[in-house]
Amino acid sequence: MKDLSAIILAAGEGKRMKSKKSKVLHKVCGKALVEWVYEAVQKAGIEKCILVVGHKAEEVMTYMGQKTQFALQKEQLGTGHAVMQAQHAIKDHEGHVIILNGDTPLIKGDTIKQVIEYHIKNDNAATVITTELDDATGYGRIVRDDSGNVIRIVEHRDANEQEKAIKEINSGMYCFAVKNLLDALSKINNSNSQKEYYLTDTIEILISENNRVGALKIEDSTELLGINNRIQLSEVEKVMQQRILSEHMENGVTIIDPGTTYIQADIEIKMDTIIYPGCILEGNTKIGEDCVIGPNSRIINSIVENNVEVQNSVIIDSYISENTRIGPFAYIRPESKIGKNVKIGDFVEIKKSVIGDNTKVSHLAYIGDAEVGKNVNMSCGSITVNYDGQKKYKTIIGDNSFVGCNVNLVAPVIVNKNAYIAAGSTITDEVPENSLAIARERQVVKDGWVKKKFRMENTD
């Protein structure tokens, strides 16, 4: 939208979080509070966004990077003072500015748009977003005259008994015509119970100078929920999680039990995939079509292609090609690339390895720092011995090879294609193509040894 900008206030300390971290960097469904607000601004089509930072400013600026402009509020002298720190960035603007708090992540882009439209249509100098709460404790109250016009906003701390009984509250979100905001900001003072410069005082100033001020009351107050402590953080998390799950279900994903499923923001899941209870999908994860995920699986920053089944397993920073079966009880560690139609079975750990198409690692194996070819069978108990206590080494296994049960492959080592390794071998040297390698003691049988040992010769 033209001539529109947004200011997000995020300089406050957030004492009640009891945290070493800035409040606005706490996460809901994997994304920082302030980033949710920023994204709502983006979705509303507002390109210019100024973030007012103060407490732990460096941390917030590093997290947000190049996305926004910043204004520094060195001392937190109130919401009005915070906006003053950003006014240089909008002072040449003809248009309007949306002001939002950095700790209200549930606000939607559509709602911001709706407020702007209402504000412009009514030709307002300022529009306040309000809602009604049964318990309005702590919030600023919207004081209206007998005809219902807004007169001013009074903070809870500064309100008299009659004003405290008002249920309509100030959400802390506003739309202002830039010139009216700048004019009113220059007139506020800090003569109130907190000795702060209140942004809310601009409302009374604008009204007293005969400007139009509107209040847009939003029925669903959840969008306006702010976070001041960890209990509210968990409540907002729940609402956001429900939104995310509903969106996936609307897109054709079956989620058997939304109550026990945790899917972070921005995860892609394609049609007809089924998510069983107890699954956690995090980070930059993408799941294809017709997959069956779970029960009880955790997938972080990984790509899972179509028609893959993952049962009771953990997959981190890895890539799984189509038609592959993982688990139950497999652990796929970072930088692994698993081919098509592969089976990674129970109690198998794969780390930083490539597994070729049609290969099977069916049970009880550790494959680390390895390149395993196509059509390979890694039998029960195959181990890559990749670490000598100081360094990690690579194991290479060619296509169509068969590694027997309980085999140690002491890296660095190469098993060339079409080779067989006898069960129980400890392989330390390269195995040529088409050969069989046996690296174990021959069996010795000592006839009658048991009877001799226990002097039982005369007992039969």
Binding stretches for ligand UD1 (CB under 6 A): 9-12, 52, 54, 73, 76-79, 81-82, 101-103, 139-140, 153, 155, 169-172, 198-200, 226
Token pair 């720092």 is at which residue? 369
DSSP string, 275-307: E-TT-EEESS-EE-TT-EE-SS-EEES-EE-TT
* C-beta separation of 9 from 87 below 8 A: no
Residue with Cβ nearer ligand UD1 (142 or 403): 142
Instruction: Report the nearest approach of ligand UD1 to the CB of residue 231 (Å).
Output: 16
Partner touching 9 among ligand UD1, Ca ion, none, CB below 5 to 8 Å by kind: ligand UD1
Question: Which position's Cβ is nearest ligand UD1?
Answer: 140
* DSSP code of residue 295: S
Compute and round to an integer the Cα radius of gyration of the chain.
Answer: 32
* Nearest approach, Cβ of residue 208 and ligand UD1 (Å): 18
Contact partner at residue 305 from ligand UD1, Ca ion, none, CB < 5 to 8 Å by partner kind: none
Instruction: Considering only residues 355 through 414, tell me which ones interact with Ca ion, judged by CB under 5 A.
Output: none
Q: Whose CB is nearest to Ca ion?
A: 226
Q: Which is nearer to ligand UD1, 199 or 365 (CB)?
A: 199
Residues carrying an active site annotation: 363
User: What is the closest distance, in whole angstroms, from the C-beta atom of residue 46 to ligand UD1 in the complex?
Assistant: 18
Work out what residue 350 binds among Ca ion, ligand UD1, none; the CB cut-off runs from 5 to 8 Å by kind.
none
CA dihedral 375, 378, 380, 386 (to 10 degrees): -160
Own/partner contacts of 309-317, CB < 8 Å, gap of 24 or more, are none
- Which residue lies nearer to Ca ion by CB, 4 or 51? 51
- For Ca ion, the binding residues in 180-239 under the rule CB under 5 A are 226
Q: How far is the CB of 285 from Ca ion (least distance, A)?
A: 33
Going by DSSP bridges, is the β-strand pair 426-427/408-410 parallel, antiparallel, or unpaired? Answer: parallel
Which residues, numbered 110-149, are part of the site for Ca ion (CB under 5 A)?
A: none
Residue (133 or 410) nearer to ligand UD1, CB? 133
198 binds, among Ca ion, ligand UD1, none (CB under 5 to 8 A by kind): ligand UD1
User: CB 105 → ligand UD1: shortest distance, Å?
Assistant: 11
In 3D space, the residue among 327, 297, 300, 330 whose CA is nearest the CA of residue 316 turns out to be 300
Which of these, 9, 4, 37, lies nearest to 178 by C-alpha position? Answer: 4
The letter for the amino acid at 59 is E
Among candidates 214, 215, 203, 221, which has minimal Cα distance to 132?
221
Residue number, 221 or 377, with CB nearest to ligand UD1: 221
Q: How many Å apart are CA 129 and CA 218, to the nearest integer?
A: 7
Q: How many CB atoms lie within 10 A of CB 360?
A: 17
Q: Going by C-beta distance under 8 Å and a sequence separation of 6 or more, which residues neighbour residue 61?
A: 53, 70
| Chain residues in the site for Ca ion (CB under 5 A) | 226
